[in-house]
Every structure is written in C-alpha cells, then in structure tokens.
C-alpha cells in the first residue's frame, strides 16, 4: 500500500500547516513565532525578520529584537508596524521591544473563533484528501489492479487514517484554545 502512505503524508502536511498557522496567532504572551511572516527590506531584499537579528523573549510579555546591523532598526520598526500583529514596536536605538498587553475577553473570543475556523479548514482539507484517496483506489479497482475485497479493506483503512488525523486536528485546536483562554 505505498499509495496509502502518500495520502498519509498529505494529511500530515495539513496538520503541520495548521500548527504553523496557529503558532502565528497572538496568545497574550510573547511568542517569537508571530514574527516569522514579517519581512524586512534588507539591502533591497525582503528578508524574514528572524534572519536579520537575534529574537528573544526576556519575559512572558516582551519580545526583544536585536538586529546584527543596527542601521536597519528603522526598517525593522516599519516592517512590524505594517504587519498585522497589532503591536507597536519600541525602538531604543540598539534594539526593538514588543510589549504584549493582556488580551481582553472579547479579543480572546475573536481569536478562539479564528482558531475554530482554521481547524475546520484543515478538517475539510483532510476530508478532501480522503475523497481523493478513495477515488484513486476506485480507479485502480476499475482497471482491475485491485479486487473488490481489497477496495473495501482500503476504504476502511483510509477512513481510519482520516479519523486519526481529524482527532489530531481537534487536539491541536483544543490545546491552542486553552492557551488563548487562560488569563
């Protein structure tokens, strides 16, 4: 069943994409992953922020960005302001600090809705992979590459795999929602 492995890899990638996506959501505490999508003009090239300096978390509510080249502090500040992370940077001439205020109850609920939406999108992607897998095996049956009994067994395996990944998505989402809702 080499082909079943391909579909399992696709499902794994869907979960990985979801995890990466959820890591960029602001949870009231400092998480350097929110800067992964921020790009800075560095010598004419859009460079991801984590690649142009040291990004650290000195305390739970602060991210400290220390560019290796202090002359680009202004560019880093502009890039953060243009991004949609919703935090105003503080430039002290040597480094940039991002201070995260505690989330309001309303904002927590908004983020929870966003999490649910992203999770549902991932589940749809998993179900789409399941549909593609079953179609692929039905085509193999039509071409007499597998028997009817094989097809039934494979359909069962694909459903088991789908259920496993849907549960994985539910677990990831529940963990992120818990993180968002804790004060």
Same structural domain for residues 37 and 71? yes
> Which pLDDT tens digit goes with each residue over 51-76?
888 888 888 788 888 888 888 888 88
Give the three-state DSSP class for 114. helix
Separation between Cα atoms, residue 71 and residue 77, nearest integer Å: 12
Structure token pair of residue 56: 């650290």
Domain count, the chain: 2
Would the pTM of this model clear 0.85, i.e. be above it? no
User: How confident is the prediction for the chain on average, in pLDDT?
Assistant: 85
Given 99, 114, 144, the domain boundary residue is 99
- Alpha-helix runs per DSSP H in 1-51: 2-23
Q: Which domain holds residue 10?
A: 2-23+104-181
CA angle 27, 33, 35 (to 5 degrees): 105
Instruction: State the CATH number of the domain containing residue 130.
Output: 1.10.132.20
- Alpha-helix runs per DSSP H in the chain: 2-23, 73-82, 105-142, 148-181
Separation between Cα atoms, residue 74 and residue 26, nearest integer Å: 23
Instruction: State the CATH number of the domain containing residue 54.
Output: 3.30.1360.40
> Which pLDDT tens digit goes with each residue over 110-146?
888 888 999 999 999 999 999 999 998 888 888 888 8
Same structural domain for residues 71 and 109? no
Given 54, 71, 99, the domain boundary residue is 99
CA angle 82, 106, 117 (to 5 degrees): 70
Give the three-state DSSP class for 14. helix
Separation between Cα atoms, residue 49 and residue 86, nearest integer Å: 16
Given 63, 81, 99, the domain boundary residue is 99
């Amino acid at each position: 069943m080499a082909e079943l492995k391909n579909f399992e890899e696709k499902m794994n990638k869907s979960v990985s994409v979801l995890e990466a996506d959820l890591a960029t959501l602001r949870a009231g505490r400092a998480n350097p992953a929110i800067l992964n999508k921020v790009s800075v003009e560095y010598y004419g090239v859009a460079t991801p922020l984590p690649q142009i300096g040291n990004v650290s978390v000195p305390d739970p509510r602060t991210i400290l960005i220390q560019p290796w080249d202090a002359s680009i502090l202004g560019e880093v500040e502009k890039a953060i302001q243009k991004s949609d992370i919703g935090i105003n940077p503080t430039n002290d001439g040597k480094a940039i600090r991002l201070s995260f205020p505690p989330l309001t109850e309303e904002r927590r609920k908004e983020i929870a809705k966003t999490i649910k939406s992203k999770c549902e999108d991932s589940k749809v992607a998993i179900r789409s992979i399941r549909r593609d897998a079953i179609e692929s095996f039905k085509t193999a049956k039509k071409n007499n590459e597998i028997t009817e009994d094989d097809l039934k067994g494979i359909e069962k395996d694909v459903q088991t795999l789908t259920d496993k990944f849907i549960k994985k998505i539910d677990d990831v989402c529940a963990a992120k929602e818990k993180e968002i809702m804790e004060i």
